[in-house]
């Protein structure tokens, strides 16, 4: 079911500062910031040859990453995202296996314009896991 790693997401307290570090200090290609109001985050993507790093900071008062940053004020690894061929089939299989799908269970459109879902970290041995339909 999991086809490949789509991105590794890092929550940061200051997206501009983190973008500058990845761009200037680490010499990486970093996209312009995009505010994803529906998801309560502003993101940039660090483009690498073999995958992407998603840097994200909270957007708005109800950001789903606010509590994470309160526990990790300097930032940290937030989630992994994998590509799947059929996100609803993957969801149904995972729910049948006892995993919790976050939200109302219906995929939302993510930062790449593709349907995404999140699995509760408690059901993936402590790692918040995102699925994106290729
Ligand atoms: C989709 C757009 C974009 C893209 O790639 O396209 C994105 O990726 S947007 C990313 C931001 N959106 C989300 O993360 C949505 C899914 N996340 C959530 O719904 C919440 O973050 C949730 C439910 C995972 C945690 O929410 P919160 O921290 O407010 O709740 P709790 O404090 O009760 O946490 C419950 C339990 O989970 C542990 N936890 C929280 N965050 C993480 C994490 N990132 N990785 C691992 N574990 C995490 C937390 O410590 C609690 O553990 P417990 O043992 O129950 O105390
Ligand atoms: Co993501």
> Can you give the pLDDT at residue 14?
98
* Ligand 1 pocket, CB under 6 A: 9, 36, 39, 41, 54, 56, 64-65, 67-68, 78-79, 81, 102, 110-111, 116, 118, 121, 126-128, 130
Residue 105: its pLDDT value, please? 94
What does the pLDDT read at residue 40? 98
Q: By C-alpha distance, which of 2, 1, 107, 111 is closest to 47?
A: 111
* Distance from the Cα of residue 97 to its chain's centroid: 23
Cβ neighbourhood burial of 123 (10 Å; 0-12, 13-18, 19+): middle
What is the model's pTM? 0.97
Q: Residue 26, by phi and psi: left (phi above 0), alpha (psi -120 to 50) or beta?
A: alpha
Separation of alpha carbons 31 and 112, rounded Å? 12
Report which ligand 1 atom has the smallest distance to the Cα of 112.
Answer: 6
Domain count, the chain: 1
CA of 38 to the centre of ligand 2 (A): 13
- Helix, strand and coil in the chain, % to nearest 5: 25, 35, 40
Structural domain boundaries enclosing 41:
2-133
The residue nearest atom 22 of ligand 1, judged by CA position, is 64
- CATH number of the structural domain spanning residue 65: 3.10.180.10
Give the pLDDT confidence of 24-46 residue by residue, as tens digits: 999 999 999 999 999 999 999 99
How does strand 34-36 pair with strand 41-47? antiparallel
Beta bridge partners of 117: 131
pLDDT of residue 64: 97
Nearest residue (by CA) to ligand 1, atom 32, is 67
Coil/strand/helix, residue 34: strand
**Which regions of the chain are under pLDDT 70?**
none
């Amino acid at each position: 079911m999991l086809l490949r790693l789509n991105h590794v997401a890092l929550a940061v307290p200051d997206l501009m500062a983190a973008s500058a570090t990845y761009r200037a200090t680490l010499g990486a290609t970093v996209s312009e910031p995009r505010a994803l109001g529906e998801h309560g985050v502003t993101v940039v993507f660090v483009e690498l040859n073999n995958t992407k790093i998603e840097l994200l900071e909270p957007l708005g008062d109800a950001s789903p990453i606010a509590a994470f940053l309160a526990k990790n004020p300097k930032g940290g690894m937030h989630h992994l995202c994998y590509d799947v061929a059929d996100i609803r089939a993957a969801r149904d299989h995972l729910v049948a296996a006892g995993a919790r799908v976050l939200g109302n269970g219906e995929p939302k459109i993510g930062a790449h314009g593709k349907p995404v879902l999140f699995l509760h970290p408690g059901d993936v041995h402590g790692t918040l896991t995102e699925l994106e339909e290729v």
